Structure 1
Amino acid sequence: MADLARELGLHDARTVHRYLNHSRIPRPAVMRRIVELSGGKVTPSDFYGAPCKARRA
């Protein structure tokens, strides 16, 4: 996850973990980078379609 965090320009690999477990939604610039790095396999709707734990609290 540390490598992916670096590729996304993030300082903390825990942020990637939060994206993966749906407790955080990436900011638009990071989301664009995720789409680019995944070749379009991951899209913004992949994040918005999952329930966000942080928003349920």
Structure 2
Amino acid sequence: MDILKDSITRPEKILERFRVDIKPIKRVTEVYPMFISRYHFNLIEEVDDPIWKQCVPVF
């Protein structure tokens, strides 16, 4: 597994596991890059859980 290749770097990839509105995430990622390792992404159990809040950029 390649850590960089498998990481989440685009808001659309979040839709692989979660049904969310990605518009707020896109607004942030237009200014700041997003990088969530696959390991941390897999630790997220639901939207707004503590790991989500640390990893997913939302304004």
**TM-score scaled by length of structure 2:** 0.28
Indicate the structure whose relative CO is greater, using CA pairs within 8 Å and at least 6 residues apart.
2
Structure richer in helix, relative to its length: 1
**TM-score scaled by length of structure 1:** 0.28
